[in-house]
Structures are given as C-alpha cells and as structure tokens.
C-alpha cells in the first residue's frame, strides 16, 4: 500500500479520532491510527506504537479492565511496565511476554492488530463481547483491516458488491445474523471472542473465549452474594471512569440508576474526581412517557445534572438526504436520526458514555433448569426450600397465558411476519424461506449451561454486535465511546455462576445491592416499556406520505417488488410496521452507500 493512500485512509478517520493522525510503513506492512483519547493514561499516547526496538508494533482501539492485576502479571513475567502506561502499551507488553495466547490475559473492550516483525506475523483480536468492531478484507496480495467499515470501503481495490445473505437477513429479521460477515461481499467481520493471525502460513482464526458453563458459586450467607456483586460492580464502573468527564445514559429505571449511583460514589471518593453528567431520552407528547421525571428524581437524589433530550420532533427517515449521511450498513430504525442527534449532543460535553445494557439478559430468570440441577446433584433440602419460596412469591402468569392464547387463535400481533414483497429471483437464490424457517424454529441459540441457559445463550446473540456497532463512533459519527459496566467479564463470570433463585427473580440481586443508594420507589419499580411505539405514533401523526417522497434506487429492485409493498398506517402493530418498513430502510441505505464509493473512493484512489 502506498503511504499517501494509507495517510488518506487515516485522515478519513479524523471524525472519530481527532487528536492525532499518524501512520508508519516498512516493506511488509503499513499501520495507521486516528487517536481519540478517552482515559487519563492516554493523554500522551501515540499510535502506531512500538516496543523492544521496533520488533512489535500496534494499532489499537482499546480500554482495559483490571490494569493493576495485568501489570502485576507482566512484571512477574519479567517485563518492565510503567504504572501509567496507556492500554495499547500494556497489550504490546502482554504479546511480548506470552505471544498469541496473550489475548487470554486481557479484559476489557478492545480491537487491535500487532505486527511481529521478527516472525513476520500480524496478530489481531476482538474483545469477548465484540464491543469494539474489527473488519477486514483478505486477498492473495492484500490484507486490510479497520475498526470502521466505511474506511475499508474507501480502498480502491475493495468492490461495492453486496453480500446477498446479509441483505436477506436484514429484510427478514432486521439485522445480519452472521457475526462473521458484513453487508459487503469483500469485507468480513471478526466475531466477538476471536483472534486472527496472518503470516506466511496463511490466515488463521481462533475462538479464544466462550461464555463459561462450569462456574459454581455458593455462599453460606445470603449477604455475601450481594456484597461480592457490589464489589464487582464498583470495579467495573471504576475501570470505565478513568477519565475527567463522563456521561451516563439514564433512563430512570433500575439498571442505569445503579450505574449512576456507583459512578457517583466512586468519583466522590477517588483521588481524581470525574465530572459526571446524565442524559435521558424523553417523549414529551407521544407516546406518554414519564422517564424524564424518574431520571430527574434519580439525578436529584445523587446530586447529578440531568439533561433531557426530546425525540418527539424526529420524523420518519429524517436526514436521509443529508450529503454527509452514509451509514456503513442498513439500519431498521426509521427514527435513527434521533439517536444520532443525542450522540452529537452528548459528544459536545464528553467523550465517554456509560450504558446500563446487559444486566437484563444476565439476570434472565429461569426456575426449572435450576430445579433440575438441584435434583441431579441430590440437593433435596435446597430444592424443597427454594421451590416452596418460589411458589409463595411467584405471581400468577396472566401475561404468559394471554400471550399463548393469542398465538393459539392467531391474533398475536407481535408474532414475526414473513414479508410478501421479495423479488422472486432473489427469494429463490438466497433461499429465504429456508432461512426464515431455520431462525423461526430456533430463535434461541442452544446452551450447555445447566442452570441459566437463556442468560448464557443470550450473550452470543447477533443483536449485541448490531447494538455495539450502531453505538460506535465509526457509525454515529461522533467522537463518543460507549461503555457497558454490566458486560464486564468479572460480572458476567460471577452472574453465570450464581444460583438464579432468589437472586435473578425480579432482579433481587441488583435491588438489594442498591438499597439506600437510589430512590426507594425507583429501586423497587418494575421495568416498564414505553406506553406506545414511537414509529406507530409518528405514522399516526404524519401519515405515510413522506415515504412516497423518497426516490427509489434501482439497486432495490434486485431485492424487492415495489408493486407488492404493503401500505403503512399507524393502526398496524409495531411488528407489522417494522417488517413493512424494512424495504424503505434498505432503499435509503443503498443510496447512501453509493456515496462512499464515489467522491470518497475517488479521493482515496487518487491519494
């Protein structure tokens, strides 16, 4: 790769890494980096960085957990490490000490590539949950990688040919269900928990981590479960607060309020305080919403400022014709402009945003697998006690019975709908009926976990990859890094090893951990979804005329029959609206995707 081309690709990334733009090359490889400094240790960081007289080079988008423990391990292995070394340098030291198994010593959010000049090997890895993206292209004479998909698309040797399997998945399910591919034929995605090595022996991909199934933590005293969880949450939030200012996406519910409480306490007692600010999405007019009131109550209790960001004004597909609008992959949210607006607002205040995502999945309560495990292990006393307590506090399952009856009589409007508007040739070529049947019959991935199979399996769902990449600065496109304390590996391993009853039942573990730390009525408040669907409300308010004003891309005709599109109105169910809006989502994305292949592509090619 020519240096001018490499520099043009790095310069393209300046929107997500405004602090420095550097690249380096030798006869074998070129590395480039656009820096976004988000931790105190990164204030003087420069990348690409080297170690051991240039034997090892790295470019990384990384934030590590458990730095003290990692540095101690490195020093025991003979490495000399500065306490305030940036996270990328710690990763390089780990590789120098342990080679490719070094990734198994790392905790946190990371996506990196290390060039080992001695062995002529490039070693790459993506974190356990895929919070940091990693895309790549492999050809006989070219290996190209980035944490930003549109950056790879700018290279003149990368075609714009689409991956029909990914497009089919999007139209059926709203996302690409294959974590190893993207919407483009040439560009692959390194799945979460995987590493990649490329050398003279070729390319090798290895899965270095899977969610554990063999953990088993049992304490003699109930309070020990809560105290250990509180300690882990404090460590997880603390490791994500190594910055001077941080935001919290506060909903007014239990999960985000818990993150805010932990962050407030850590900042107050730390040697270096972090300026914490809270941000809340609200709907002032439709649908009726009290999240702003709850969030403000949490803010007052914790003495944290709360900024409410109204989303009512966002119209369907707002901003689709913006010349700067070029999403890397299709998005099935016609109100996505509202999320981008909030990212712009928050990024003007801070570069780090904490989210409460993850704990709902990890505390997914299942009684019967747990009861079966007690029976298999002969724990009859515990089985009788827990079953008696469970039936004493378990509410009557009216909602479950109501949902089953609707499905039996065919009136469950939230059931997935098979679309009628596919192009017939595409339908047959992509085998969409078989794909629909496969995903419909097996919506939950199989799990070998003996007591919490749903929680365990949920960690491998492709929706995580979709969410992380949508909230990443490579897409939004604002210099804002979202962090997820509940998806700290220490918390995940702990929760997968606990007895689910009583701790997962109505999230008792988290509620007990927050006693006297958040307002009592919010601590005991049940999770309540929005009273209505924002897209349905917008359709009722403005109608579907806006959809008819959007020009149709000829590329869309490869996938859909325009004459078969279903007219939309606000009286449809949310599931029906989501399904029948996807052709419009794809049509708009196909038009915006061309922008990356035209002026940007030409500029990269001429650079």
The 10s digit of each residue's pLDDT in 448-468 is: 899 999 999 999 999 999 999
Is the per-residue pLDDT at 414 higher than 80?
no
Structure confidence by residue, pLDDT tens digits, 220-240: 999 999 999 999 999 999 999
* In contact, 87 and 62? CB cutoff 8 Å: yes
pLDDT for res 604: 39
Mean pLDDT in the chain? 90
Q: Can you tell me the distance from the alpha carbon of 249 to that of 580, in angstroms, rounded to the nearest whole number?
A: 30
Task: Kindly write down the DSSP assignment for every residue of 415-451, as one continuous string.
Answer: S----S-B-HHHHHHTTHHHHHHHHHH--S-----SS
Domain limits, the chain: 3-210
Mean pLDDT of 163-171: 97
Q: Give the whole-number percent of the chain exceeding pLDDT 70.
A: 93
Question: What count of other Cβ atoms lies within 10 Å of the Cβ of residue 422?
Answer: 21
pLDDT for res 287: 65
* In contact, 245 and 350? CB cutoff 8 Å: yes
For 283-319, letters b (16+ CB in 10 Å) and e give beebeebebbebbbbbbebbebebbbebbbebebbbe
Structure confidence by residue, pLDDT tens digits, 357-411: 999 999 999 999 999 999 999 999 999 999 999 999 887 654 554 555 555 555 5
Sign of the torsion angle spanned by Cα atoms 399, 403, 409, 413? positive
Q: HSE (CB half, 13 Å, CA atoms) of 6?
A: 17
Q: Can you tell me the distance from the alpha carbon of 116 to that of 122, in angstroms, rounded to the nearest whole number?
A: 6
* In contact, 85 and 40? CB cutoff 8 Å: no
User: Residue 540 burial (CB < 10 Å; 0-12/13-18/19+)?
Assistant: middle
pLDDT band at 150 (very low <50, low <70, confident <90, very high): very high
Mean pLDDT of 66-83: 96
For 19-54, letters b (16+ CB in 10 Å) and e give bebbbbeeeebbbbbbbbbbbebbeebebbbbbeee
Question: Residue 490: in which H helix or E strand, if any?
Answer: helix 489-495
Q: Can you tell me the distance from the alpha carbon of 383 to that of 483, in angstroms, rounded to the nearest whole number?
A: 38
DSSP label at residue 14: G
Is the per-residue pLDDT at 606 higher than 70?
no
Structure confidence by residue, pLDDT tens digits, 266-315: 999 876 789 999 999 988 776 667 888 899 999 999 999 999 998 888 88
Mean pLDDT of 514-529: 89
* In contact, 132 and 165? CB cutoff 8 Å: no
Structure confidence by residue, pLDDT tens digits, 84-126: 999 999 999 999 999 999 999 999 999 999 999 999 999 999 9
Q: Which of 319, 359, 357, 345 is nearest to 480 (CA)?
A: 345
Mean pLDDT of 250-254: 89
Q: Which of 184, 178, 212 is nearest to 594 (CA)?
A: 184
Structure confidence by residue, pLDDT tens digits, 5-17: 999 999 999 999 9
Mean pLDDT of 310-329: 85
pLDDT band at 540 (very low <50, low <70, confident <90, very high): confident
Tokens in use for 481? Answer: 């890094």
Structure confidence by residue, pLDDT tens digits, 482-497: 999 999 999 999 999 9
* In contact, 207 and 193? CB cutoff 8 Å: yes
pLDDT for res 126: 98
* In contact, 336 and 233? CB cutoff 8 Å: no
* In contact, 499 and 370? CB cutoff 8 Å: yes
Give the contacts of 317 (CB within 8 A, at least 6 positions apart): 334, 337, 546, 547, 550, 584, 588
Q: Can you tell me the distance from the alpha carbon of 64 to that of 192, in angstroms, rounded to the nearest whole number?
A: 16
Tokens in use for 278? Answer: 């809270």
Q: Which residue has the higher pLDDT, 34 or 415?
A: 34
φ/ψ bin of 601: left (φ > 0), alpha (ψ from -120 to 50), beta (otherwise) = alpha
pLDDT band at 141 (very low <50, low <70, confident <90, very high): confident
CATH for the 3-210 domain, from 3.40.80.10, 3.40.50.300, 3.60.20.10, 3.40.920.10: 3.60.20.10
pLDDT for res 325: 72
């Amino acid at each position: 790769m020519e240096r001018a081309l490499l520099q043009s690709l790095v310069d393209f990334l300046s929107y997500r890494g405004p602090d420095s733009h550097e690249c380096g090359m030798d006869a074998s490889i070129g590395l480039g980096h656009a820096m976004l400094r988000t931790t105190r240790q990164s204030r003087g960081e420069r990348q690409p960085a080297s170690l051991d007289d240039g034997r090892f080079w790295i470019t990384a988008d990384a934030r590590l957990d458990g730095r003290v423990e990692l540095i101690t391990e490195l020093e025991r292995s003979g490495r000399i490490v500065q306490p305030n070394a940036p996270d990328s340098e710690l990763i390089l030291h780990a590789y120098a000490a342990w080679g490719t198994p070094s990734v198994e010593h790392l905790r946190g959010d990371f996506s990196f590539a290390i060039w080992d000049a001695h062995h002529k090997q490039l070693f790459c890895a993506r974190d356990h949950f895929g919070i940091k993206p990693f895309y790549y292209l492999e050809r006989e004479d070219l290996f190209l990688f980035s944490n930003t998909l549109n950056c790879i698309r700018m290279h003149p040797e990368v075609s714009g040919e689409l991956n029909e399997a990914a497009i089919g998945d999007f139209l059926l399910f709203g996302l690409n269900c294959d974590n190893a591919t993207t919407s483009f034929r040439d560009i692959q995605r390194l799945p979460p928990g995987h590493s990649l090595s490329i050398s003279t022996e070729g390319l090798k991909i290895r899965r270095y981590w899977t969610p554990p199934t063999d953990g088993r933590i049992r304490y003699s005293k109930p309070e020990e479960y809560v105290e250990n969880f509180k300690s882990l949450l404090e460590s997880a939030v603390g490791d994500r607060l190594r910055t001077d200012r941080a935001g919290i996406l506060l909903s007014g519910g239990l999960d985000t309020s818990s993150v805010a409480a932990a962050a407030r306490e850590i900042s107050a007692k730390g040697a270096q305080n972090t300026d914490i600010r809270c941000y809340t999405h609200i709907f002032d007019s439709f649908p009726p919403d009290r999240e702003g009131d709850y969030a403000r109550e949490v803010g007052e209790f914790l003495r944290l400022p709360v900024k409410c960001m109204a989303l009512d004004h966002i119209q369907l597909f707002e901003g689709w014709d913006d010349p700067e609008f070029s999403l890397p992959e299709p998005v099935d949210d016609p109100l996505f402009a509202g999320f981008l607006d909030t990212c712009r607002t928050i990024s003007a205040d801070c570069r780090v945003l904490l989210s409460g995502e993850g704990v709902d999945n990890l505390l997914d309560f299942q009684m019967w697998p747990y009861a079966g495990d007690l029976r298999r292990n002969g724990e009859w006393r515990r089985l009788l006690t827990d079953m008696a307590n469970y039936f004493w506090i378990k509410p009557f399952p009216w909602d479950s019975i109501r949902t089953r009856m609707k499905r039996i009589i065919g009136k469950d409007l939230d059931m997935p709908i098979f679309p009628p508007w596919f192009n017939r040739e595409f339908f047959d070529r992509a085998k969409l009926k078989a794909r629909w049947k496969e995903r419909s019959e097996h919506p939950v991935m199989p799990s070998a976990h003996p007591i919490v199979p749903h929680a365990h399996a949920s960690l491998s769902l492709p929706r995580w990859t979709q969410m992380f990449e949508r909230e990443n600065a490579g897409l939004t496109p604002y210099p804002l890094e979202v962090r997820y304390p509940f998806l700290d590996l220490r918390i995940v391993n702990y929760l997968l090893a606990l007895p689910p009853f009583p701790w997962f039942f109505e999230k008792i573990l988290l509620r007990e951990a927050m006693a006297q730390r958040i307002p009592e009525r919010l601590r005991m408040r049940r999770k309540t979804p929005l009273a209505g669907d924002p897209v349905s409300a917008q359709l009722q308010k403005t109608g579907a005329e806006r959809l008819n004003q959007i020009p149709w891309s000829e590329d869309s005709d490869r996938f859909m029959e325009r004459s078969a599109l279903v007219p939309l109105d606000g009286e449809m169910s949310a599931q029906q609206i989501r399904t029948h809006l996807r052709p419009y989502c794809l049509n708009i994305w196909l038009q915006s995707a061309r922008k990356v292949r035209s002026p940007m592509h030409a500029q990269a090619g001429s650079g």
